[in-house]
């Protein structure tokens, strides 16, 4: 059954408030974020006060209870600012909250959802040094220990790990690679648990202020009630369901940032003069602007359609398609922005150079373009074999 979400009128007012906040508070703070590679804590507190960490949390647990289209539109608006502001909240919203809401026990929901909604930062531990999309190669293990488990292993490229209070960790509960990835389970692991440690924050090409690092699990003892949903073998399904929301979030971020990039390109083209007139009057510059607008419009339409289907619980192909197209689109728009800037686009003093670096990761995380091509094709073939109309 589709989630009706927040009252439409209240949501419209919220979006208008968020648009002002993005332009009046977040964008002016970007230079400070770039200088320190972190979001100032007062800004994070403001985001907490605005309820940005609890948008998707059900109202009974202290959240706003947004449905998927409302959440995705919020991320698109937030994505107009530099990516770090989305990253700090999006793991809570689109992945950990989703997993808890869909699969958590009542006890788990009561313990964690109010804390997540209040702004305790969470992270999502799937990728490992030797495995990402290939769950059969997952090396992190969860061995039975009385009524609980002992976790050993490591996770790589984990967004928000340096600040997180909670990690949703995927681990093998069976030594064999079972059908439908039933050898993988999900665990709710407080980051202050003995044996959990976090590596140094990685230096990245772009997306400054969004911190990622490795998580190390060394003989980590957790109680049995840390098993998400209280049932082994459901972890990978939970991860994949959460990734659908994560992919839509990246698609929304790509659309929001592409709009910012295109606005910047238009502004520069109207101000920069060559041969006595603004370069915006040159037809080949206009062609790059027009191509960017058309592709961005297409991505926004895909995003809204995929979000509506996800709200009805059926969006594997659509979420993967929207993420694939929107992320590639954002990269193309960023590339054109640099080209429109000419030599200035290669200089760090202009935003075009940063946009180019920031955008590159969108085609990689939450499923690379190549993995998403496989996801889309496999589901198309499965539906065809089952006689499901396209």
103, part of any domain: yes
Structurally, the chain folds into a number of domains equal to 3
State residue 92's pLDDT score.
86
* Residue where a domain stops, chosen among 233, 264, 283: 233
285, part of any domain: yes
Residue 279 and residue 159 in one domain: no
141, part of any domain: yes
Q: Tens of pLDDT along 33-54? A: 999 999 999 999 999 999 999 9
Residue 241 and residue 381 in one domain: yes
Domain extent, residue 44, equals: 8-120
Residue 154 and residue 265 in one domain: no
Q: Which of 278, 253, 283, 251 is nearest to 267 (CA)?
A: 278
Residue 104 and residue 145 in one domain: no
Residue 228 and residue 298 in one domain: no
* Residue where a domain stops, chosen among 208, 233, 258: 233
* Residue where a domain stops, chosen among 171, 203, 233: 233
Residue 169 and residue 116 in one domain: no
Residue 218 and residue 296 in one domain: no
- The single-letter DSSP state of residue 378 is H
State residue 108's pLDDT score.
95
Residue 71 and residue 158 in one domain: no
Q: For the chain, list residues with pLDDT below 50.
A: none
Residue 208 and residue 270 in one domain: no
Active site residues: 366
The gap from C-alpha 69 to its chain's centroid, in whole angstroms, comes to 15
21, part of any domain: yes
Residue 158 and residue 194 in one domain: yes
CATH code: domain of residue 46: 1.10.540.10
3, part of any domain: no
Q: Report yes or no: 329 and 258 within 8 Å, Cβ to Cβ.
A: yes
Q: Tens of pLDDT along 95-139? A: 898 889 889 999 999 999 999 999 999 999 988 988 776 667 889
Q: CA torsion angle for 93, 96, 99, 102 (degrees, to 10)?
A: -40
State residue 133's pLDDT score.
64
Q: Which of 383, 386, 365 is nearest to 204 (CA)?
A: 365
Q: Look up residue 238 and give its two tokens.
A: 């939970």
CATH code: domain of residue 268: 1.20.140.10
Q: Look up residue 172 and give its two tokens.
A: 């093998």
> What is the H or E stretch that residue 75 is in?
helix 68-78
The Cα–Cα gap between 341 and 346 comes to 8
26, part of any domain: yes
Q: Look up residue 27 and give its two tokens.
A: 């964008």
Query: 339 Cβ partners below 8 Å, 6+ apart?
Result: 288, 345
Residue 277 and residue 256 in one domain: yes
The length of the chain in residues reads 390
390, part of any domain: no
DSSP assignments along 324-342, one per residue:
HHHHHHHHHHHHHHHHHHG
- Four-residue CA torsion sign, 253, 55, 321, 250: positive
Residue 222 and residue 280 in one domain: no
The gap from C-alpha 281 to its chain's centroid, in whole angstroms, comes to 38
129, part of any domain: yes
Q: Which of 256, 190, 183 is nearest to 225 (CA)?
A: 190
DSSP assignments along 122-189, one per residue:
EEEE--BTTBSS-GGG---EEEEETTEEEEEEEEEEEETTTT-SEEEEEEESSSS--GGGTTEEEEEE
């Amino acid at each position: 059954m589709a989630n009706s979400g927040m009252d439409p009128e209240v949501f419209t007012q919220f979006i208008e408030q968020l648009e002002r906040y993005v332009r009046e508070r977040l964008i002016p703070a970007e230079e400070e974020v770039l200088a320190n590679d972190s979001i100032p804590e007062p800004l994070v507190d403001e985001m907490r006060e605005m309820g940005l960490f609890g948008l998707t949390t059900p109202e009974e647990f202290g959240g706003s209870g947004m449905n998927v289209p409302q959440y995705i539109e919020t991320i698109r608006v937030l994505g107009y600012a530099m990516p770090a502001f989305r990253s700090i909240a999006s793991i809570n919203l689109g992945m950990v909250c989703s997993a808890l809401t869909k699969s958590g026990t009542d006890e788990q929901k009561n313990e964690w959802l109010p804390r997540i909604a209040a702004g305790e930062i969470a992270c999502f531990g799937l990728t490992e040094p030797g495995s990402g999309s290939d769950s059969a190669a997952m090396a992190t293990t969860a061995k039975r220990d009385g009524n609980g488990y002992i976790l050993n292993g490591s996770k790589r490229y984990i967004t928000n790990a340096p600040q997180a209070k909670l990690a949703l960790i995927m681990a093998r509960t069976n030594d064999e690679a079972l059908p439908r990835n039933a050898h993988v389970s999900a665990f709710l692991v407080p980051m202050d648990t003995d044996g959990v440690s976090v590596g140094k924050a990685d230096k990245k090409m772009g997306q400054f202020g969004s911190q990622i690092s490795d998580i190390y699990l060394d003989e980590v003892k957790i109680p049995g009630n840390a098993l998400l949903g209280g049932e082994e073998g459901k972890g990978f399904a939970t991860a994949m369901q959460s990734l659908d929301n994560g992919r839509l979030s990246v698609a929304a971020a790509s659309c929001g940032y592409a709009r910012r990039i295109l606005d910047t390109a238009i502004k520069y083209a109207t101000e920069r003069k060559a041969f006595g007139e603004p370069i915006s009057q040159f037809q080949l510059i206009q062609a790059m602007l027009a191509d960017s607008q058309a592709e961005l419009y297409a991505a926004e339409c895909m995003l809204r359609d995929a979000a509506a289907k996800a709200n009805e619980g059926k969006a594997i192909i659509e979420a993967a398609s929207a993420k694939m197209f929107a992320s590639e689109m954002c990269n193309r728009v960023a590339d054109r922005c640099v080209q429109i800037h000419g030599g200035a686009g290669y200089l760090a003093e202009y935003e075009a150079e940063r946009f180019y670096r920031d955008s590159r990761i969108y085609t990689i995380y939450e499923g690379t373009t190549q993995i998403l091509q496989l996801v889309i094709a496999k589901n198309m073939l499965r539906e065809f074999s089952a006689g499901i109309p396209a």
